[in-house]
Amino acid sequence: MKKIIISIFSAAVLLITSTGMAQTKNTVEEIMVDGFKVIYKPTNNQIVSVRLFIKGGTANYNNEQEGIENLLLDVVTNAGTSKYPKSEYNRLLDKMGSTISGSSGLDFGNIALTCVNRNFEASWAIFDDVVNSPLIEDAEFKKQRDAMVSNVKQEKSDPDSYLTEMAMNDAFANLNYDKNTNGSEESLNKLTVDDLKSHFKKVMNKKQTFIVVVGKIDKNQLIEKVKKMVRNMPTGSYLPAKPTMLSINKSTLNTEERKMATNYIRGVMNGAAYGTEESYAMQLAFGILQDRLFDEIRTNRSLSYAPAAFYQTNINPCSNVYVSTTDPDQAVQVIIDEIKKIKTVGFSEQEIKNQKSSYVTTYYMGLETNAAQSQGLGVAEVKGTYKNYIEFISNINKVPAKDVNAVVKKYLSGIRWSYLGDLTKVKSDTFLQKL
């Protein structure tokens, strides 16, 4: 029976892998339409995912306008358009089962359309009008702004959300990532309809935007639709902000008192530049470190429910450790001990082999939806090239064990700790010890 189960599981993995390979290999195409980039991936299923990406994210606005791009994309995807007033806009989308949404993060914003193939024509017409003629008016602006202000207030009361902002503001002080993509009460309340209109005009150009389309769509039909959509879009003069590489060479501690049963701790460290050979080695290293911290902190010592270690492959990269615990001194010591152990002893060949297998499974499971694929392709393109998404497994598998150990020694030389909780439990010597 065990052999049968193993055989079935192996067959399932092989099927997923084969399907994923068939879906990704040699099918993604880059097309330039009148100076506008289109990343096109045909599929055989009946769902179509379209995303218009806006490069820049937090680099597109100053601290006084924190949250403007998120608010803008909320408004333009909810308020209707010149051809489709809000009630008609919502009625038509609901009738077709189509959705149009928008959001903005650290490195990019996007306007996303999801629909079934048979409704692509009608759904695209609405999407086109959102891109070209959105309604940015007082009523919807105030509604969405009030909702964002409410969310910001809730974020402050949520320890994990607040800790994330603390850690990013500390590590990236006076840089683009010290801005909250959701804004602050102060910044949101200062924004006006005219500010949103100006921002939309500034970012909606051919150099700063591109589109990803994943679905069963005729390429020539798509080209004609895109050509019509961008016919009046200016070329623009967008230049991406230069990536910022952190240089954390010693540990520091940033604390804030909050009376809670649990203390929340996050440490930010250096990270390798995205898309480089070192970045793939770092992803493997932090995948293994995550497993080790789970075993040591949760399983063996019951110090935390969900300790974490992760490498953020942003344009401005960093690596992180995280724990929520009632015993911060002991939990932090375990994290530091594990990092020291890795720097001196390194990872085993078997650990690295197992981690590569884990990434293979995760990657192909991520290909199950067209929306996930359009997101993956677009995010990779924002950071450098969509080809990094397609070639991810190949690049991961090429990493030798010595490189995985080397990146830990090279980049993990200090931790910028952020601590939210009971300050009487903070022992500075534990946090500030040398790695």
Residue 363 · residue 20 · CB < 8 Å: yes
pLDDT average, residue stretch 48-61? 98
Q: Angle, nearest 10°, between helix axes 138-157 and 68-76?
A: 130
Q: Summarize the confidence of residues 300-311 as an average pLDDT.
A: 96
DSSP code string of 311-361: EE-SSS-EEEEEEEES-HHHHHHHHHHHHHHHHHT---HHHHHHHHHHHHH
| Mean per-residue pLDDT, 315-341 | 97
> Given this model, what pLDDT does residue 10 score?
35
- Provide CB contacts within 8 A for 407, sequence distance 6+: 272, 278, 281, 282, 285
pLDDT of residue 115: 98
pLDDT at 362 (0 to 100)? 87
pLDDT reported for residue 67: 97
* Dist. CA 351–CA 118, nearest whole Å: 47
Crossing angle between the packed helical segments 219-229 and 120-132, to the nearest 10 degrees: 30
Q: Which of 41-45, 291-295, 315-319, 361-365 has the lowest mean pLDDT?
A: 361-365
pLDDT tens digits for 354-375?
999 998 888 888 888 999 999 9
Strands 29-33 and 47-55: unpaired
**What's the CA gap between 150 and 189, in Å, rounded?**
11
pLDDT tens digits, one per residue of 227-256: 999 999 999 999 998 899 999 999 999 999
Query: So what's the pLDDT on residue 366?
Result: 83
% residues pLDDT > 90 (the chain): 91
275-292 tens-digit pLDDT: 999 999 999 999 999 999
The reported pLDDT for the residue numbered 365 is 87
Distance CA 231, CA 34 (A): 8
The answer to which of 3-7, 204-208, 288-292, 385-389 has the lowest mean pLDDT is 3-7
- Is the pLDDT score of 347 beyond 90? yes
Mean pLDDT of 324-352: 96
CATH 3.20.20.70 fits 252-432, yes or no: no
Residue 3, pLDDT > 90, answer no
Strands 29-33 and 36-42 turn out to be: antiparallel
Residues 6+ apart with CB under 8 A from 335: 267, 293, 297, 307, 321, 323
On the question of pLDDT at 14 being above 80, the answer is no
**Residue-level pLDDT at 20:** 41
Residue 119's pLDDT band, with cuts at 50, 70 and 90, is very high
At 24 the pLDDT is 42
Which range is least confidently modeled, 10-14, 126-130, 297-301, 353-357?
Answer: 10-14
Render 25-89 in DSSP notation, one character per residue. Answer: TTT-EEEEETTEEEEEEE-SSSEEEEEEEEE-GGGGS-GGGTTHHHHHHHHHTTSBBSSSBHHHH
| pLDDT attached to residue 15 | 34
Q: Could you tell me which CATH class the domain 50-213 is placed in?
A: alpha beta
CB atoms within 10 A of CB 20: 19
Summarize the confidence of residues 195-218 as an average pLDDT: 97
pLDDT digits (tens, 9 = 90+) for 123-134: 999 999 999 999
Element (H, E) at 255: strand 252-257
The residues of the chain that CATH labels 3.30.830.10 are: 50-213, 252-432
Q: What is the pLDDT of residues 169-194, one digit of tens each?
A: 999 999 999 999 999 999 999 999 99
Total-model pTM: 0.92
13 pLDDT higher than 60: no
Does 314 score more than 90 pLDDT? yes
Please tell me the distance from the alpha carbon of residue 140 to that of residue 127, in angstroms, as a whole number.
18
Average pLDDT, the chain: 93
